[in-house]
Structure 1
Amino acid sequence: MLSPQWLDQLRTRITLSALISRSGVRLLRAGREQKACCPFHSEKSPSFTVNDEKGFYHCFGCGAHGDAIRWMTDHQGLSFMDAVKELAAEAGLDVPAPDPRMAKAAEKRDSLHDVMAEAQGWFVHNLTAPGGEGAQAYLASRGFDAATVQRFGFGYAPEDRQALKGALSRFPEPMLIEAGLRIVVEDRDPYDRFRGRLMLPIQDARGRVIAFGGRILAKDKTPKDSGAPKYLNSPDTPLFDKGRTLYNLHRAAPAARETGRLVVVEGYMDVIALAAAGIAEAVAPLGTALTEQQIEMLWRHIETPVLCFDGDAAGQRAAMRAITRALPLLRPAHSLRIVRLPQGLDPDDLIKAQGPAAMRAVLDEARSLIDVLWETERDAVPLVTPEDKAGLKARLMAHVEAIAHPDIASLYRRELTDRFSAFAFPKRDSGWSNQSQPRGRPGRNGRFGQPAPAPSSPESLERLRRASSGGARDSLAAAVIAGLLRWPAQIAQHAEMLARAPSLDPRLALLVDSVDAGEPLESEHLATILAANGLEVPGPAAYSGLRFGFLGPDATLEQDGPDLASAILILVERPMLEAALKAATDRHIHEFTEESFAEQQRLRERMLEFDARLRHMAARHAASS
């Protein structure tokens, strides 16, 4: 039998880009990926990408997606077993003898698409069969009529751990595992991934089923696994990469061409609620924040898509995360507009309460990206002191620094600086007192010739300061992740701060996404999510140079939680201050005005406040050691 482990070993020994290049596809380097015009359909600009790290190729135009084996079957026309044999010969591996079922499947040229299509038919059959009454009742409670149920392909997965395997017995188990329908666990028999759930097919740009989403039907009737998530999606497979897939795009794209608008909502049930209300141009990401690849997919259809977020705190964090992902990608005429629904409402709630016209009215009032960025940062924390205002300026400028396009970055800097100046220094008070400051040329290191105060720097303070800059920031991020995994409830506590970071460790981003998606707050469960996304749980070696109290074996939330909060603040905001201070210093050198000097000094004062926090942390460590 070709085990999943052996197939994974085969994939890791093949460099996908080299394999594809040998087939005559001319790949060009684009960051961590390589791009080309898609070999599966005709196009003038490249939308086909190859990622050797993930071992997948993907086309944003036609939806072609797969690994090395998939390339050999779909592009080279080989059967599954012939593809495996050819790749194994290249990799220097011996092919285990397949069992009779595997050989039979290869002869019939069954593919993962065949597996998914048959699974979808089985789920749909179960919905109206005995046992599917609960799923039907849920759909009725959501107000979905028979046409909507049929159009979106709702189905039902029974509770039995082996039901799908029996129903799809003509396919060998390795294919069911590879398709994400079965789970293999060490020292246990494989079992069905989806059990006791309302099922929904996820389709590619061609309308082919590539994955599934499953929803628990009732809180008092969950799968036997404790802590099961409310929504469960297929894992990444040769057919499915959740970061490169938008639910319902194959239906929404044609509708968007008619309406001139493409709407992004938080989940697939929101998409269906909008479609039932006559708004067909809606898509959704799949359990994660909107990715850079998904933003590019949206821009291939509409230059300024509308992001629609729920009116709760998680929705606001999702909006900010989308903004920070989009800023480096902005280019002329391509941006985002953003809608925030009324507090506590999702699209379905609003439609039921006020009707489809109210939803359309909200979408028509979508705000520009820069408006939402400004208002979110302005309202993030109370702005009482000059230090608070300097922190706001630092955060705004850090976002500007993330914009790659020079013209757009310049325009954002000018616009946000003007808004900040009007807000922080109204005309009645310019924020600069000529009576209190002597005229003259300011010294480069202080206020008009006076040396700037220097923070004290004991060894412990210096160690913490170094942890917030440069490559050591990775160690600080690892320490914060370890602390959050120890006390998972703190993720929600600090999600607002983490969501505002212009650049965030992908592990932290995934933890925030998981909490916002309603995942169970259990260390083991969150660690499994990280592993499932190819991300490592940091071990002590990753933060060995740091001595935070919350990393100790006897740490308690009551005693060491404040240090974790301070470490998060340092990780997120101090780099933003550093970037803003550098930009302010550069401007002051070139402009040399009172305003530029005042801005530089405000940021220096904010940095001193951070140093005071670091000193406090250092003192805590010294007292407890």
Structure 2
Amino acid sequence: MRFDERFIDELKARLRPSDVIGRTVKLKRQGREYVGLSPFSKEKSPSFFVNDDKGFFHDFSSGKHGDIISFLQETERLSFVEAVQRLAGEAGMQLPAEDPKEAEREQKRLGLSEWMDLAQKWFAANLRRTPGKAAREYLEKRGLPEDQWERFGLGYAPNDREGLKQALVQRGARPAELVEAGLLIAPDSGGQPYDRFRDRLIFPILDARGRIVSFGGRAMNPDDRAKYLNGPESPLFHKGSTLYGLPEARRILGAESRNDQPIIVVEGYMDVIACQRAGLPAVAPMGTALTEEQMGLLWRISAEPILCFDGDPAGQRAAYRAVERALPLLKPERSFRFVTLSGGLDPDDMLREKGAPALREAMSLTTPFSRKLFEKEMEEVGPLDTPEKEAGLLVRLRKAAATISDPDLARTYKDFLVGAFYQRVRPSPEERKAANRIIYRDRKARSLAPIMDVTPEARAAAMTLARAPRPVLSAIVEGLITYPAMASERGETLATQNFGDVGLDRLIGDLVRLTYEAQAMSEGLLRSRLVALGHEETLRRIDRTASIAHAPFLNSAASLEEAAVGLSRAVDVLLHSLALSRAMNEMKSEQSFDSQAFISLKGQRDALDRFIASGDIWSEAATVH
């Protein structure tokens, strides 16, 4: 359905943003605006503003901004058309007249929808009758209690060629309609239509608006050729644009107190049900690889949906197919993360064997798209045992980055992938030792490529980050955010450095600029402003690595004086290490290379890095007065 600008303008004119948004957010009048707590992030001080005169909302904590339509899209995960239809009903506005042919098609779809609803009720009733005994036992074996059957609309199709057909014909349906809806099969030979689903556990498939558009059936007979069977394409059902479980996933997201929870894509009906029972907003494609249309639907709901695959070879092949299909579509605010379940378990197995907390924990251990892409290209090339294969991998990585249509993101991916190649394939002895120190510091990370999330602008910067200072640097930045008064004094020097990490460099620059603009800025407001400026992911990385450093000034028990001394000492030591590295690199490029001076500088730098890596930096810093 299309809406012209006049219709949208009239809709907005009839509804006050404070009334629409006030049903979800508790708003308080403040001058000519309304203020409340952000519906997009947890906060104690209100930073969410609504302006009726200008017709928009703005959330400083998340940076989100928009009108009443985009608010419903964000908070209730509705599409644009769904949001407009909802608001038009509230405003008492008649929706624009549609094209006559489209109206005729819609009327036809409505007629077919009635038969789908009646079919679902018939299937559900049969699940509880004598013929459904095997299906009930199967559900019991899978750990799905009876009180959950109605929630997911489950049913059973008896092993009868005309059971559903007769039931619906008695209610006034014509067999031709039921064939068109996908409920019956019309033989090519011209015989009488018969039931498509027989001796199968039935899963209703709903569209984004919660209407039944098709069914999926799981065979009860282990000898059946097709274990799972979906309905065919029809006026109601288009496999490539439908996601199983979407309405329930949206409901879970709408009720989720943590608005950063992304939607999750799993591989099967029972996996979707398992995740949703555990409070996770999961969906599944219709037994095929994700289509571009389904990806677009997912991105309208979450900026980084999670794709969950089994850890077996088939699961990894499916993950790599998703990488290939999504790569050209990526944008700075549109990507995927991956979860690979280990131990041969799928989400349904994990829920039954380990419980909902274990399933939620497994879904939080994600791998970025960039790392999955690197792993895919590495696996495609195989063992890098010749220079030709190394060169081949480098060519593949550059080609993969060039596939991304967004030019800025393509350049960033190229930097990342090439940098990861040199660190993984040809690390220097110093890098190899440093990578081992970092990897073994976290036993869970042994299998991961070292320092994969560094985007090297220069090899010297990447080497510096690869050795010891990276957790120290994260602790320092975290300290400057925790104590904003120190940021303008100590952060200014850091802002002039190039750490080889675009996100980190930008964050430090914005951090210093913000503290200049508002000297009395609190820690909470500073963090909110940094998130609003697009640094949320970098802040997460800093938070993860800062804890590894165990810096005393990040301890809540530390006094302001102790924190100031410890933070200043850490900055000085880190800057000294960076200065030594720069001096060594400059010396290498000089025509008259002084090997003795170089060895001396290297000895100083290595000693300083050992001092940093040992943790002694903190004990000394804490005692300096």
Q: Partner residue of 1:62?
A: 82
Deviations 1:447-466 (A, max 9, x none): xxxxxxxxxxxxxxxxxxxx
Q: Where does 1:70-219 land on structure 2 (aligned, <5 Å)?
A: 83=104, 111-169=111-169, 170-187=172-189, 188-219=191-222
Deviations 1:88-138 (A, max 9, x none): xxxxxxxxxxxxxxxxx99xx960110100110111111112211111111
Q: Work out the CA distance in 2 between the residues paired with 1:286 and 1:241.
A: 9
Which deviates the most, 115-124 or 341-350? 341-350
Q: Work out the CA distance in 2 between the residues paired with 1:83 and 1:307.
A: 38
Q: Secondary structure at the match of 1:138?
A: helix
Larger Rg: 2
Q: Secondary structure at the match of 2:204?
A: strand
Q: Where does 1:365-444 land on structure 2 (aligned, <5 Å)?
A: 365-380=365-380, 381-427=382-428
Judge conservation of contact 1:214–1:233 (CA < 8 Å) in 2. Answer: yes
Judge conservation of contact 2:186–2:194 (CA < 8 Å) in 1. Answer: yes
Q: Where does 1:236-275 land on structure 2 (aligned, <5 Å)?
A: 236-257=233-254, 258=256, 259=258, 260-275=261-276
Q: Where does 1:179-578 land on structure 2 (aligned, <5 Å)?
A: 179-187=181-189, 188-220=191-223, 222=224, 228-257=225-254, 258=256, 259=258, 260-276=261-277, 278-380=278-380, 381-427=382-428
AA at the equivalent of 1:208: R
Q: CA deviation at 1:429?
A: 11
**Could you say what the CA RMSD is over the residues aligned between the two structures, in angstroms?**
3.4
Q: Secondary structure at the match of 2:396?
A: helix
Judge conservation of contact 1:135–1:156 (CA < 8 Å) in 2. Answer: yes
Deviations 1:128-153 (A, max 9, x none): 12211111111111110122111001
Over the matched positions of the two proteins, sequence identity in percent amounts to: 44
CA distance change for structure 1 residues 238 and 343 in 2, over 3 Å: closer, same or farther? same
CA distance change for structure 1 residues 424 and 24 in 2, over 3 Å: closer, same or farther? closer
Judge conservation of contact 1:113–1:208 (CA < 8 Å) in 2. Answer: yes
Judge conservation of contact 1:247–1:285 (CA < 8 Å) in 2. Answer: yes
AA at the equivalent of 1:177: V
Q: CA deviation at 1:331?
A: 1.2
Q: CA deviation at 1:255?
A: 1.7
Q: Partner residue of 2:453?
A: none
Q: Secondary structure at the match of 1:151?
A: coil
Q: CA deviation at 1:160?
A: 1.3
4+ runs of 1 displaced by more than 4 Å?
Answer: 23-26, 42-45, 58-61, 74-80
Deviations 1:293-342 (A, max 9, x none): 11111111111111111111111111111111211111122211100000
AA at the equivalent of 2:391: A
Deviations 1:65-105 (A, max 9, x none): xxxxxxxxx9659899x948xx9xxxxxxxxxxxxxxxxx9
Q: CA deviation at 1:396?
A: 1.7
Deviations 1:399-428 (A, max 9, x none): 212100000000000000011122222225
Judge conservation of contact 1:63–1:206 (CA < 8 Å) in 2. Answer: no
AA at the equivalent of 1:424: V
Judge conservation of contact 1:201–1:213 (CA < 8 Å) in 2. Answer: yes
Deviations 1:568-587 (A, max 9, x none): xxxxxxxxxxxxxxxxxxxx
Q: Work out the CA distance in 1 between the residues paired with 2:389 and 2:212.
A: 51
Q: CA deviation at 1:395?
A: 2.3
Q: Work out the CA distance in 2 between the residues paired with 1:303 and 1:152.
A: 27
Q: Work out the CA distance in 1 between the residues paired with 2:132 and 2:275.
A: 25
Q: Secondary structure at the match of 1:379?
A: helix
Task: Calculate the TM-score normalised by the size of structure 1.
Answer: 0.51
CA distance change for structure 1 residues 113 and 361 in 2, over 3 Å: closer, same or farther? same
Q: CA deviation at 1:59?
A: 6.9
CA distance change for structure 1 residues 123 and 280 in 2, over 3 Å: closer, same or farther? same
Q: Work out the CA distance in 1 between the residues paired with 2:300 and 2:360.
A: 23
Larger helix share, 1 or 2: 2
Judge conservation of contact 1:63–1:204 (CA < 8 Å) in 2. Answer: no
Q: Partner residue of 1:535?
A: none
Task: Calculate the TM-score normalised by the size of structure 2.
Answer: 0.51
Q: Work out the CA distance in 1 between the residues paired with 2:5 and 2:135.
A: 46
**Aligned pair count?**
349
Q: CA deviation at 1:234?
A: 0.9
Q: Work out the CA distance in 2 between the residues paired with 1:230 and 1:63.
A: 38
Q: Which stretches in structure 1 are left out of the alignment for 5+ residues?
A: 1-19, 27-41, 48-57, 65-73, 88-104, 223-227, 431-625
Q: Work out the CA distance in 1 between the residues paired with 2:83 and 2:198.
A: 28
CA distance change for structure 1 residues 415 and 24 in 2, over 3 Å: closer, same or farther? closer
Q: Which stretches in structure 2 are left out of the alignment for 5+ residues?
A: 7-67, 85-95, 432-625
CA distance change for structure 1 residues 290 and 165 in 2, over 3 Å: closer, same or farther? same
